[in-house]
Amino acid sequence: MDNIWFTMALEWSCAIGPSPDDPMTAESLRSWITRIITEACDASAPRIVGHKAKSCAYWWSDVIADLRKKSVKARRAWTRSKKRNSPEETEKYRSVYRQAKKTLRKEINKAKISAWCELIRTVDADPWGLPYRIVLKRLRRASPSLTETLDEETLEEVLSLLFPNGTVHDPAAEWIGWN
């Protein structure tokens, strides 16, 4: 929260005061005070508007979403039947769930294969697009960072060369003398 903005917003609202058309009752003053404090809070600390939607997997589809809903529904029915029904009925719900799960897994595998084939086809057309980002993401997870692989002495040497101690740089002067 920015205290300066909060103070300025309160001073501005209080300088204007409540509308002369409003009756001077306790209720109208309460609503005016609530409104100016809310406006001051909004000015000094804007509200966060939701979270960014999580992107789905590149192979996800509406068919898979529907099969997943069915699988979750079957699993919940099986879980409930364990508490309420006989072992024979529970086994029936279990087999329904296993079949739904198997169907979902098969559909996911088909979607992954077809999406992978599509990615391979698009590599020639757009090598820096989605295929590049997917491969880079996997490589980033698979290997440690450069600073983790360097020994301590080498890392110190690299950092001291990149960020020398005691020297003050004037970017404007360096830019002027660039030619």
pLDDT attached to residue 36: 84
Side-chain-side CA neighbours of 8 within 13 Å: the count stands at 9
At residue 61's C-alpha, the angle toward residues 59 and 65, to 5°, is: 120
pLDDT digits 0-9 by tens, 97-137:
999 999 999 999 999 999 888 888 888 888 788 778 877 88
pLDDT digits 0-9 by tens, 143-174:
777 777 888 888 888 888 877 777 676 767 76
Per-residue confidence band for 65, with pLDDT thresholds at 50, 70 and 90: very high
Check pLDDT > 60 for residue 179.
Answer: no
The four Cα atoms 74, 75, 77, 83 give a dihedral, to 10 degrees, of: 160
Q: CB–CB of 63/115 below 8 Å?
A: no
Q: CB–CB of 20/9 below 8 Å?
A: no
Instruction: Give me the helices (H) in 85-129, please.
Output: 87-125
Q: Report the chain's terminal Cα–Cα distance, integer Å.
A: 46
pTM metric for this prediction:
0.49
Domain boundaries, given as residue ranges, for the chain: 3-44, 62-136
